[in-house]
Every structure is written in structure tokens, then in C-alpha cells.
Amino acid sequence: MIANISLPPSTGDAVHFLELARYFSKHKVNVLTVIPKPLKEFKNNLGVKYYFYHRFNVRLLGGFLSLLAMALTVLRICAARRVDAIYLRQPTFFFIINFIARLFKVPVFFEVNGLYSYEEKARGGAAFKIWFYRFLDNLAIRKAKGVISVSSGLYDYAVSIRECGENILASSNAVSLELFNKTFDKVEIRKKYKLGDNLFLIFIGNLTPWYDFTTLLEAMSIIQGYRSDIKLLIVGGGILEKEIKNSIRRMGLNNVIMLGAVPHSEIPELLSIAEIGLLPLKKIPHNLFVDIPVKVLEYFAAGKPVISYNIGGVSKLVIDDYTGFLVSNNTPHDLAEKILYLLNHPEKAEILGLNARRICSEKYSWDTVSKQIIDFISLIIQK
């Protein structure tokens, strides 16, 4: 398994990769992971073997040197031992990894967890860069021995690129339920993060352009005029962090707290003190491929109802008036209205949260999803 992630994990991408590796191992698969060397000490308790390569953080040649270091690591592994399959997530790695795999006659399986080209477009990237990422996305999908897609939108995209549905698995993201099904000392957690006795909404994730923080902050401005005991926790870092902080100051919001990026191990305890999880997706092409975001599964695993904009396939997970509420118009007033309704009706919020946790445990455990992927890969290898 190969991925460009940071350790210890603090993003959904990294958590997804490591949990999948851990559950592959639980199902008796001998897993070797190739990832960048951790920036600080990382305790390996996943039951998998790590091979680290050096990530060069220098301008211009940094990306190329990192790619070369990763490729040499994979080359050494393939030369030293038998490898039955390579599981890859980044399309930027595909060309060189596929070349090495062909030398050793090893099939490459590519997981489509998102499309780099659409992400770059959402960031406002240059036209050539968007074209180049689309070329890499499509190359990996077309040439991989098998494709694992984590949403129905990505599955349809993969089918359109390969021009058939053969060797494409419609999978999903998942969550480790045991991390969230714990008893937490909420008083101590509030002390730890210097939080008062308020009701908390929570957003967890990277602060990127595919989330509509403008509407979210405007909704918090409306809520501030009705109730002073409601606060929003924004947990995560990213390219919009400075912009969001400036907006909070400009709007005079005293009901929004930015905690920054935290280790993933702290996410369950933060969710334990929240009342509602938020997913403010923008109406942009990137989000049309969204079905089952990791953050929503983590909200669900913690027993929290979710309020989301009705975009892409997210309604398959956030079922209106069953596991949360969908905001169809994406206006600050509509969002504030849904939030205030749930906070004013805690018994309703509890029922939605219980429904969410039940759906999560029945359909979206890593145990179930990892076994599905293993069976898919095994079947193709045996053909």
C-alpha cells in the first residue's frame, strides 16, 4: 500500500489509509505500507510494516525528489520479496509505480477517493495544472488492474473512463466504531480545550474551498442574535484558515472557536461534547462526487445528527429528518433555522443521533469495507 500522508495522522485521508491497512492486516493480509517518514515520533500499533521514504520540502524539485525516493523504496521491496498486489491512492504516483509493477509483473489497484483535477479547479488552479491532473486521474483509472471507488459518483466517473464496469468496485469510506463508542469525561475535555458550558456545533476537516464557510459564518451571526449559549467549533487547518479568522473578526462573531488541526486521536473526545455535526458543502463540481465523507461517518459513530447542504450524493447518508437535516437552499437563514430547531428540541436530536449511529454500525465499519476490498482484489488476481 502506497500513500503520500503525514504521521501522526490528522486528516481524513491519512486516517482512511491507515485504518484500511490495519483492517487488511486483521483479515490476515500481509500488509507493507510505503509512506513518507514521520515528522515526529509515531507509535506503530496497527499491526502492519512500514517502509518510510524521505519527503523533500524544497521548492521546484521537492516533488520530483520525493517521487523518486518513493519509487526507489517500492523498487527495493519488489526486488527483495514477493508482492501480490500494489494498492495505490495518489494518481501522481501511478505512472512510475505502474512501470515498476510491470517489471515485476505485479497488478496495481487504484483507489479513487477523489479527483485531483476537480480539487485543483476548486482551488482556482491554472488551466494547465487542472488539465495535467485530469490526465493523471484518467490514466490511473484507465490503466489500473482494478479500481476501487468510494462513492457512486466516482464509480460512474471510473466507468465512463474505462468504458465499462469491469474490475471496478463500488466501495465506500468507513469508520472505526470502537474509537467513538467510549465514555468520555466531558467536564475534563472542556477544561482541556478551555471551553465553557456552552452548546457546541462542530465542523471537522480541512479548511478548503469546497466548503462554504461564508454561509456557515453568516448563519452563526444570525444564531448569535437569538442565543448566546451556542458556539461553533472549527477543527482543522488549511489554506482558508487565515481568511476564516479574518471573517470572524470582521463580523464580530464571539460564538466561533477555531481550534486548528488536532491529532486524529483527539477527534472522538471533541465530538463527545458536540450536539450537531456540520457539513457545509459548496455547490461546485468537486462535490458532485461526494457520497460518504469520513467526517460524516465520524459524526455518526459518535451519535451526532448531521446538518448538511443537499449536494452530490450526501443525501444517501444524511437522510432528512432521520439521521439529520438537509438544507436545500444553502442560505444562512435556512441553515440557522435547522440548527436552532435541533438545539431547541434535544429529544429530536437524540433520536436522529441514535439513527445515525445505527446506520453507521450496520453499513460503514472498516471490518465490512476492508473485507469487501480484499475479496475484490483476490478475485481479480485469481483470474
**Domain of 369: which CATH number?**
3.40.50.2000
On whether residue 1 sits in a domain, the answer given is: no
One domain for residues 195 and 234:
yes
Q: What is the dihedral of CA 13, 318, 110, 60, to 10 degrees?
A: -40
Least confident segment among 38-42, 151-155, 193-197, 365-369: 38-42
Residue 7: per-residue pLDDT: 65
Indicate whether 264 and 352 sit together in one domain: yes
The verdict on residue 5 lying in a domain is no
**Do residue 64 and residue 85 come from a single domain?**
yes
Contact criterion met (CB below 8 Å) for 139 and 328: no
- CB-neighbour burial class of residue 304 (10 A; exposed 0-12, middle 13-18, buried 19+): buried
- Put simply, whether the predicted model's pTM sits higher than 0.85 gets the answer yes
More confident residue, 122 or 86: 86
Residue with cell 461517518: 297
Three-class SS state of 345 = coil
Q: Please check whether residue 341 lies inside any domain of the structure.
A: yes
For residue 271, what pLDDT is reported? 96
Residue 21 shares a structural domain with residue 165: yes
**Does residue 118 sit within a domain?**
yes
The one-character DSSP state at 29 is -
Cβ 98 vs Cβ 78: under 8 Å: no
Say how many CA atoms lie within 13 Å of 277 toward its Cβ: 30
Average pLDDT over residues 326-354: 94
Contact 306, 281 (CB under 8 A): no
Average pLDDT over residues 309-329: 88
Q: Are strands 256-260 and 230-235 parallel, antiparallel or unpaired?
A: parallel
Pairwise CA distance, residues 55 & 71, whole Å: 12
Q: In terms of domains, do 201 and 146 share one?
A: no
Does the residue 3 lie in any domain?
Answer: no
Higher-confidence position of 75 and 8 = 75
Count structural domains, the chain: 2
Residues 48 and 105 in one domain: yes
Do 184 and 230 fall within a single domain?
yes
- Maximum Cα–Cα distance across the chain: 66
Q: At CB < 8 A and 24+ separation, what contacts does 101-105 make? A: 103/78, 104/78, 104/79
Question: Pick from 116, 4, 2: which is nearest to 55 by CA?
Answer: 4
Its sign, for the CA torsion 345, 349, 354, 355, is: positive
State the pLDDT confidence band at 46, using cuts at 50, 70 and 90: low
Lowest mean pLDDT among 43-52, 116-125, 248-257, 332-341: 43-52
Q: What pLDDT is stored for residue 279 in this prediction? A: 93
Please report the pLDDT score of residue 19 as a whole number. 85
284 pLDDT more than 90: no
**The pLDDT of residue 75 is above 90:** yes
Same domain, 200 and 296: yes
- Do 144 and 200 fall within a single domain? no
CA 177 to chain centre: 16
Residue 356 lies in a domain: yes
Of 279, 257, 253, nearest to 335 (Cα)?
A: 279
pLDDT band at 293; cut points 50, 70, 90: confident
Same domain for 184 and 55: no
9: pLDDT strictly greater than 70: no
pLDDT of residue 85: 95
Averaged pLDDT, 171-199: 90
Q: Could you tell me the CA-to-CA distances from 222 to 96, 115, 219, 239, 252 in Å, in that order? A: 52, 35, 5, 26, 12
The residue range of the domain holding 283 is: 177-363
Confidence of residue 38 (pLDDT cuts 50, 70, 90): confident
Question: Is residue 341 located within the same domain as residue 231?
Answer: yes
4, part of any domain: no
